[in-house]
Amino acid sequence: MSTRLVIVSDSHNKHNELILPQGTILIHCGDGTYHGEVAETINWLVWLQLQTHKYQAVLSIFGNHEIYVSQNVDEFRELRSIYAPDVKWLTMNSWKDPVSGLKFYGCPYVNFINGHWVWEATESEMEELVKKIPNDIDVLISHGPPYGILDNFYRKRAIDDLTARFGIRFEEIELKVGSKALLKRIQEIRPSVVCFGHIHENGNTKRESDGITYINAARLDEHYEIGHEPMVINV
């Protein structure tokens, strides 16, 4: 019997507006907060706990917006025990579903952005971090995408310094921000599903590659409005 996974990411304090389908396990791939403040964190915890009455299990990781969590680990543990005691948090660790036997692993890290966010890592740091991902997992939950897979978006750039002053001529460039180290590790261990978010432009998108299903489950679009449906997959 298959297990129906409902996957969301990047709800950014708008999770109370989400309509979720039926399923077996709910997965949140991080960035439940927007400013990363304690009030937003509690709001997210309460919402996740409510979902435990609808799903057999609720799994969540953190994203680069979860500033309060990263800076107040002990306080978060206390809040979690109060507001979301039944939610399973995966932070570089795994959980095995006792019913299906599926093994899940959570990795909150993203490629380095600008140092203003949390759970950022350079590629050399990612190379060490991904070594911790076990060989025998079925579903990898990451906040950041692997390189070249649903990780691209476009930005306008001034063609030269002179025209930049007047804002006249721009070119559109494609940026790929996924981790090469993460992609390499995925190709080594070959989980059935890799789900993530972070890049809103590719939300609600699935790609099959070499027997692996990649899912970008970001719910909010690039304007931080709810623009994508939750992703559902049977495993």
Task: Please state, in angstroms and rounded to a whole number, the distance separating the CA atoms of residues 104 and 130.
Answer: 14
pLDDT confidence of residue 156: 64
User: pLDDT tens for residues 111-142?
Assistant: 887 777 899 999 999 999 999 999 999 999 99
By the 8 A CB rule, do 214 and 194 touch? yes
pLDDT band per the 50, 70, 90 thresholds, residue 167: low
pLDDT confidence of residue 227: 85
Task: Please state, in angstroms and rounded to a whole number, the distance separating the CA atoms of residues 71 and 15.
Answer: 23
* Region 93-100 average pLDDT: 98
pLDDT confidence of residue 153: 79
Q: Please report which helix (H) or strand (E) contains residue 188, including its range.
A: helix 180-189
By the 8 A CB rule, do 88 and 139 touch? no
pLDDT band per the 50, 70, 90 thresholds, residue 168: low
pLDDT confidence of residue 221: 87
Q: Which domains does the chain have, with CATH numbers?
A: 4-234 (3.60.21.10)
Between helix 38-51 and helix 73-83 the angle, nearest 10°, is 40
On the CB side of 41, CA atoms within 13 Å amount to 22
Closest C-alpha to 177, from 127, 143, 129: 143
pLDDT confidence of residue 27: 98
pLDDT confidence of residue 222: 86
pLDDT confidence of residue 112: 81
User: pLDDT tens for residues 212-225?
Assistant: 999 999 999 888 89
User: pLDDT tens for residues 144-165?
Assistant: 999 999 998 776 655 665 555 6
200: amino acid identity, one letter: H
* Region 27-42 average pLDDT: 97
Q: What dihedral angle (degrees, nearest 10) is formed by the CA atoms of 185, 189, 190, 195?
A: -60
pLDDT confidence of residue 175: 84
